[in-house]
Amino acid sequence: MTRLTVTRLTARPSTALTGRVTVPGDKSISHRALIFGALAVGETRIDGLLEGEDVRATARVLGQLGAEVLRKAEGRWRVHGVGIGGLTEPDDLLDFGNSGTAARLMLGVLAGHPVTAFATGDASLRRRPMGRIVEPLTRMGASFVARSEGRLPLAITGAAVPAPQVYRLPVASAQVKSAVLLAGLSAPGETVALEPEPTRDHSERMLRAFGAELRVEDGAEGRAVTLLGQPELTATDVVVPGDPSSAAFPLVAGLLCEGSDLTLPTVGVNPLRAGLFDSLIEMGADLSLENRRDLAGEPVADLRVRAGALKGIEVPPERAPAMIDEYPILAVAAACAEGTSVFHGLGELRVKESDRLAAVARGLAACGVAVEETEDSLTVQGRGAGSVRGGAEIAADLDHRIAMAFLVLGLAAEAPVTIDDGRTIETSFPGFPALLRGLGAEIEEGAEG
Ligand code: S3P
């Protein structure tokens, strides 16, 4: 992993962040572009690929499995695919680093190949539940030897011809849906992923773009995604939009730091990812989504944000899948808003890179914000603009989004906020501290002296 040399970072109260911010490529789309490229026949050209550690893990693992993945220039990659079922047995351990998406999607791919592979990851990934993919992939014919709840390290032996399934997802998870569909690519007949709530549909969009036959139907039981197995995937060019989940951090910094005015061009605004934008607008944010257009099959817009007062809101559980990664930064916005905010349906936050519900509650409390945490909800008593005390050191717990959220809080608080370890920011947002500094934010390496 490319390591920041100094791991501790301190954000000091800042004002007037201004300028244009180009955020890194979408992480979800970047993983998928590499994976579908590797399963297609021919050369897939990718522009704007996120070069964070998570996506590099997917690229490295695909290379270990026999696909040719080449970096041509910054963000410009080429994949020479081997065709569905064409990946080969790796001769060493597959290390997925910090990335749940890389691990779960690639285990779906491996479930449709008659190979045996051994997978692991960092301390955060090794504590995350994998039973949610082990179960459907076992039904499809893969076999696993894993730790409790399917946790890594694990061994998988995939099936040459997996059995197609109608699989009802027990949790709203795009990773589980995608793992089932990826295994279903090798299966004869139709594989159906039935999701209780619609989750991000980047796999579906990309499957279609690569030539697969796919139906999406909404019914009483939720959304059914039906894939016709054993298609021929054809190499396709992919242009990766800016990641809305990364844009969220400079965006909220711009809302909270007095006098700010930021433009973030070409950010993904897929409705299944856009819950944060809706929530911030409900809070009274001066945020506009301008110049909406389509970029290689994904909706994008230029975001314009200006600082201003926010008010507390209640976020319903149905919105959770469309902003599942954005609650840490939304909670920071809520802490700086007038009035109370309540977020419901947050159970899944407990099994992210860290237990994000606990980490957010603990961190806000350390910064002088009154919070109440239940098993799946969070209540934040907003202190109003510029009135959060700050002045704390926060344990990032190997979680990039906890690290970035609390750095943003430090920019908007009365006293600096330090995070103990900024290294995992590299997983999704390489260069985040420098980028914010370029806008006028005070973020320094080292602790508050
Ligand atoms: C992702 C799905 C989400 C999200 C993660 C990326 C994906 O996870 O939290 O950052 O690319 O499919 P879940 O599927 O676990 O909700």
Let me know if residue 235 belongs to a domain.
Answer: no
Q: Which of 26, 27, 28, 326 to mutate to test ligand 1, by most ligand atoms within 8 A of the CB atom?
A: 28
329 CA distance to ligand 1 middle (Å): 16
Let me know if residue 13 belongs to a domain.
Answer: yes
* Among the listed residues 115, 65, 432, 447, the one whose alpha carbon sits nearest the alpha carbon of residue 246: 432
Tell whether ligand 1 has an atom less than 6 A from the beta carbon of residue 197: no
Average pLDDT score over the chain: 97
Sheet holding 76-82, edge to edge: 68-73, 76-82, 41-47, 238-239
Tens digit of each residue's pLDDT (9 = 90 or more) over 257-297 = 999 999 999 999 999 999 999 999 999 999 999 999 999 89
Tens digit of each residue's pLDDT (9 = 90 or more) over 244-264 = 999 999 999 999 999 999 999
Q: Which residues contact 31 (CB under 8 A, 6 or more apart)?
A: 54, 55, 58, 99, 101, 102, 105
Let me know if residue 136 belongs to a domain.
Answer: yes
Q: Which amino acid is at 15?
A: T
Instruction: Kindly report the number of other CB atoms within 10 A of residue 123's CB atom.
Output: 9
SS3 content of the chain, % helix, strand, coil (to 5): 35, 30, 40
Tell whether ligand 1 has an atom less than 6 A from the beta carbon of residue 203: no
Question: Hey, whose CA ends up nearest to atom 11 of ligand 1?
Answer: 28
Let me know if residue 237 belongs to a domain.
Answer: no
For residue 172, give the ligand 1 atom closest to its CA.
16
Let me know if residue 276 belongs to a domain.
Answer: yes
Does residue 4 have a pLDDT over 80?
Answer: no
For residue 200, give the ligand 1 atom closest to its CA.
12
pLDDT at residue 228, as a whole number? 98
Report the greatest alpha carbon distance in the chain: 63
285 CA distance to ligand 1 middle (Å): 26
The β-bridge partners of 303 are: 264, 289
pLDDT at residue 6, as a whole number? 52
For residue 352, give the ligand 1 atom closest to its CA.
9
Tens digit of each residue's pLDDT (9 = 90 or more) over 383-426 = 999 999 999 999 999 999 999 999 999 999 999 999 999 999 99
Residues 10 and 74 in one domain: no
Residue 176 DSSP one-character state: H
108 CA distance to ligand 1 middle (Å): 14
Residues 222 and 270 in one domain: no
Residues 10 and 37 in one domain: no
Strands 377-383 and 338-344 come out as: antiparallel
60 CA distance to ligand 1 middle (Å): 20
Q: Which of 324, 348, 404 to mutate to test ligand 1, by most ligand atoms within 8 A of the CB atom?
A: 324
For residue 245, give the ligand 1 atom closest to its CA.
10
CA 446 to chain centre: 27
Residues 191 and 75 in one domain: yes
Tens digit of each residue's pLDDT (9 = 90 or more) over 42-67 = 999 999 999 999 999 999 999 999 99
Does residue 447 have a pLDDT over 60?
Answer: yes
Structural domains of the chain, count: 2
pLDDT at residue 1, as a whole number? 44
Residues 256 and 218 in one domain: no
Question: Hey, whose CA ends up nearest to atom 10 of ligand 1?
Answer: 325
pLDDT at residue 5, as a whole number? 54
Helices first, then strands: H and E counts in the chain? 13, 24
Active site residues: 325
pLDDT at residue 140, as a whole number? 98
Residues 106 and 149 in one domain: yes
Residues 19 and 34 in one domain: no
Let me know if residue 1 belongs to a domain.
Answer: no
Residues 127 and 171 in one domain: yes
- Residue ending a domain, choose from 195, 227, 259: 227
Confidence of residue 33 (pLDDT cuts 50, 70, 90): very high
Let me know if residue 234 belongs to a domain.
Answer: no
Question: Hey, whose CA ends up nearest to atom 16 of ligand 1?
Answer: 173
Question: Hey, whose CA ends up nearest to atom 13 of ligand 1?
Answer: 173
- Residue ending a domain, choose from 227, 260, 276: 227
Confidence of residue 177 (pLDDT cuts 50, 70, 90): very high
pLDDT at residue 31, as a whole number? 98
pLDDT at residue 3, as a whole number? 45
pLDDT at residue 296, as a whole number? 87
pLDDT at residue 2, as a whole number? 45
- Residue ending a domain, choose from 227, 261, 279: 227
Q: Residue for token digits 């989004």? A: 401
Tell whether ligand 1 has an atom less than 6 A from the beta carbon of residue 325: yes
Tens digit of each residue's pLDDT (9 = 90 or more) over 357-382 = 999 999 999 999 999 999 999 999 99
> Which has more confidence, 32 or 6?
32
d(CA 28, CA 428): 10
- DSSP output for 355-372: -HHHHHHHHHHHTT--EE
Tell whether ligand 1 has an atom less than 6 A from the beta carbon of residue 193: no
Domain hosting residue 368, numbered range: 6-23+242-448
Residues 119 and 14 in one domain: no
Check which CATH number belongs to the domain holding 262 and give it: 3.65.10.10
Residues 188 and 280 in one domain: no
Residues 313 and 222 in one domain: no
Residues 209 and 342 in one domain: no
174 CA distance to ligand 1 middle (Å): 6
Reply yes or no: is the peptide bond before residue 153 cis, omega within 30 of 0: yes
Let me know if residue 19 belongs to a domain.
Answer: yes
The whole-model pTM stands at 0.97
173 CA distance to ligand 1 middle (Å): 6
* Among the listed residues 324, 275, 135, 297, the one whose alpha carbon sits nearest the alpha carbon of residue 214: 297
